[in-house]
Amino acid sequence: MALFKRRTVGKPGEWFYCLRHQTVEEGPECRAADRFGPYATREEAAHAMETARERNLEWETDPRWHDKGKAADGGKGPDESGGPDEGAGR
């Protein structure tokens, strides 16, 4: 018995953007790894790449998610840990 049933025919009104063929499709024609969607309208699916670029830009510039240069120790490297042995033996 299959854990997941493969759906070959989409529901009416489901639109997808195929990354492989760079086309809009009604219903899932290509495999899930090669598509964005579902979208409510053909127009939304047609702008899938633009929407993805906008969302990526929002995520990359969001200060809540942008942790570049920060580490679990507050951004200090191994020589700057401020631990009890700091400066010992120097």
Tens digits of per-residue pLDDT, 27-77? 888 999 999 999 999 999 999 999 999 999 999 999 887 666 554 444 444
Strand pairing class (35-39; 23-26):
unpaired
- Whether 4 shows a pLDDT value over 80: the answer reads no
Flag whether pLDDT at 81 surpasses 70: no
**For 1, what's the count of Cα atoms within 13 Å in the CB-facing half-sphere?**
1
Q: Are 9 and 27 in contact (CB under 8 A)?
A: yes
Q: What is the pLDDT of residue 2?
A: 56
Residue 26 or residue 79, greater confidence: 26
Q: What is the pTM of this model?
A: 0.59
